[in-house]
Structure formats: C-alpha cells, structure tokens
Amino acid sequence: MKEQSILVFTHKEEVFVNLLIKIGTRRSVAQTLVFLANTPEATSRELERGTDLRQPEVSIAIKYLDEQGWVQCRTIPLRK
C-alpha cells in the first residue's frame, strides 16, 4: 500500500472559508477555492479529502470555478 499525505485546513484557512461564505459564496466553492489557493494543482480525490467534501460537491464547485475562469482543468488518463 502506498503512503500518502492529506492536506487539511489551518485555522486561518477556516476563517477565510467562513468569510467567503458570509459574502455569499457557496460552502463547497469556498472550501475548494481556499484549498486550491494553497497548492499549485490537485486531483479531485485530493480535493475531496482535503476539503472533506463528497465527489459531487467537488465536481459542482470545480465546474463553477472553471466557468468563472478561476481554475484550469485537465483529464489525466488512469493507469492500468
């Protein structure tokens, strides 16, 4: 089994997420945006784990951020 580290929010990042929510940003979008602000790129699985969101929530948040032009998405083929 492969060992993997999981990024989690610091107190300051949680405060930032809450500020974004207070100004009307959806929770899933706020969490995803703050997570991505601290890492150059992430897989959807890393986003799920780091934000504690479910896969559909991550997909909706990423779709919104992509439509706004705030993120760039790419598909990585699965290894067999």
**Tens of pLDDT along 11-24?**
999 999 999 999 99
**Residue 3 belongs to a domain:** no
Burial class (CB in 10 A: 0-12, 13-18, 19+), 32: buried
Is 74 a member of any domain? no
Domains: count for the chain: 1
Q: What is the pLDDT of residues 40-61, one digit of tens each?
A: 889 999 999 999 999 999 999 9
Given pLDDT bands bounded at 50, 70 and 90, which one contains residue 9?
A: confident
Instruction: Provide the whole-model pTM.
Output: 0.83
Rg of the Cα trace of the chain?
13
Burial grade of 47 (CB within 10 A; 0-12, 13-18, 19 or more): buried
Domain contains 77: no
Residue, of 64 and 6, whose pLDDT is higher: 64
3-class state of residue 75 by DSSP: coil
Lowest mean pLDDT, pick from 1-10, 46-55, 64-73:
1-10
Integer Cα distance of 53 and 66 in angstroms = 18
Nearest to 64 by CA among 50, 53, 49, 76: 53
Which residue range(s) make up the domain with 56?
11-67
Whether pLDDT at 64 is above 90: yes
Position 22 in a domain: yes
